Amino acid sequence: MVENIIDEFYKRHLELLNYLEENKEISLRSEADDNFKKVLVIAIASFFEQEIIDTLNRLIETKINDGRLIFFSKFKGIRRQYYTYFDFDTDNNANRFFKIFGDEFKKQAEEDVKLNQDLGQGVKSFLEIGLTRDRLIHQNFATFYLEKTSIEIYNLYKSAMVFIDYLKNKLC
Where does the pLDDT of residue 1 fall: very low under 50, low under 70, confident under 90, or very high at 90 and above? Answer: low
Q: What is the pLDDT of residues 85-122, one digit of tens each?
A: 999 988 789 999 999 999 999 999 999 999 999 999 99
Q: What is the mean pLDDT of the chain?
A: 94
pTM for the structure as a whole: 0.92
d(CA 7, CA 108): 31
The ranges assigned to domains in the chain are: 5-171
Q: What is the pLDDT of residues 54-92, one digit of tens each?
A: 999 999 999 998 999 999 998 888 888 998 999 998 878
